[in-house]
Structures are given as structure tokens and as C-alpha cells.
């Protein structure tokens, strides 16, 4: 079945089983490989994308459920004002180790900073709790989010 999607600001069509998870429609149907397969049950966060600005798990979301929603992936973050700041800080602080989980971490962090530009440690813990990192880069992730928040507030001043 053909589905018209809005991916990274562009119209896209995928012809797939309605139950196919969005992750596979993106990766196999559209060649968008930033979102990663981790657990397949929405428990690790490696597949995180934005759906209408919310961080969602694309591995456990059927493509038929997207409807008119706007999907953004890590591929679009370089041209997103907040996503760009987050990515730059991630590089500056050398957050990634193996890197596998990091697209999902950045997507969740960016969604957090968009709704809460000045998060507390507790806000960060809560927002990021569903994004696992086998390399345990959690301290650098927290530092990067705090630094990104400081840069966002500098820009607003
Ligand atoms: Fe390796 Fe997170 S950087 S899993």
C-alpha cells in the first residue's frame, strides 16, 4: 500500500505493508539511515525521530499511523536552529563513543530543548531516560544538553 509521508520537509511516498514500522520505511524504503535499529520494541531510543516535534520511537510505530504527521530525522537537524546547536555541542564535547545511539540521543535532546529551553538536571534525566547508551556516555550527554541550553539562551539575549 502506498503512503504519502512528510519527511524532513519533503513529500515522500513509500509502498509498504501498513504494519511496517516507520523505521524500516525510512531506512529501507527511503534510504534514510540515520535512525538506527536497536531493540525493536521502543525501549532503547536508537530509532528516535520527531513526529510533529515530539520524540517518538520509529521502530514500534506502524507507517499507517503517521497520516499527515511531519517526520524529522537526524538528517534534518543540521538545518534546524536548535538541532544545529545540539549537534555542534555534541561535537565540541566529543560526546559520542561508538556513536550508534547518538542520532536517537540528539533527537530526544533536541525535542527536549524545543519544549524546555532551560532544563534542570531532573528534566534531562526524565527526558533522556528512554535513550540507552551501551558506551555509557550519559555524563557527556547531560553536559552537552546543558551547554546547548546555555547557547540557546545566549542567542535569545
Ligand atoms: Fe556507543 Fe552510545 S555511544 S551506544
Q: How far, in Å, from the CA of 18 to the mean position of ligand 1?
A: 31
Same domain, 37 and 97: no
User: Which amino acid residue places its CA nearest to atom 1 of ligand 1?
Assistant: 98
pTM more than 0.85: yes
- Using the atom order of ligand 1, give the atom closest to the CA of residue 135: 1
Same domain, 18 and 64: yes
Last residue of a domain, one of 73, 89, 104: 73
Number of folded domains in the chain? Answer: 2
Rounded Cα distance between 58 and 40, Å, is: 9
Residue 141, domain extent: 76-156
* One pLDDT digit (tens) per residue for the chain, 157 residues: 999 999 999 999 999 999 999 999 999 999 999 999 999 999 999 999 999 999 999 999 999 999 999 999 999 999 999 999 999 999 999 999 999 999 999 999 999 999 999 999 999 999 999 999 999 999 999 999 999 999 999 988 7
Same domain, 20 and 51: yes
CATH number of the domain bearing residue 20: 3.10.20.30
Parallel, antiparallel, or unpaired for β 54-57 and 48-51?
A: antiparallel
Strand partners, 15: 2
Same domain, 145 and 82: yes
Rounded Cα distance between 142 and 2, Å, is: 40
Rounded Cα distance between 152 and 135, Å, is: 27
Same domain, 31 and 45: yes
Amino acid at each position: 500500500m502506498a503512503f504519502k509521508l512528510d519527511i524532513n520537509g519533503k513529500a515522500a511516498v513509500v509502498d509498504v505493508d501498513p504494519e511496517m514500522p516507520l523505521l524500516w520505511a525510512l531506512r529501507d524504503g527511503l534510504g534514510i539511515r540515520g535512525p538506527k535499529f536497536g531493540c525493536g520494541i521502543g525501549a532503547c531510543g536508537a530509532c528516535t525521530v520527531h513526529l510533529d516535534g515530539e520524540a517518538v520511537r520509529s521502530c514500534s510505530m506502524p507507517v499507517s499511523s503517521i497520516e499527515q504527521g511531519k517526520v524529522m530525522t537526524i538528517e534534518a537537524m543540521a538545518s534546524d536552529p536548535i538541532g544545529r546547536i545540539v549537534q555542534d555541542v555534541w561535537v565540541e564535547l566529543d560526546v559520542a563513543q561508538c556513536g550508534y545511539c547518538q542520532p536517537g540521543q540528539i533527537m530526544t535532546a533536541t525535542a527536549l530543548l524545543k519544549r524546555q529551553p532551560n532544563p534542570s538536571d531532573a528534566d534531562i534525566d526524565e527526558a533522556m531516560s528512554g535513550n540507552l547508551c551501551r558506551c555509557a556516555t550519559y555524563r557527556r550527554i547531560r553536559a552537552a544538553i546543558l551547554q546547548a541550553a546555555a547557547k540557546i539562551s545566549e542567542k535569545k539575549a
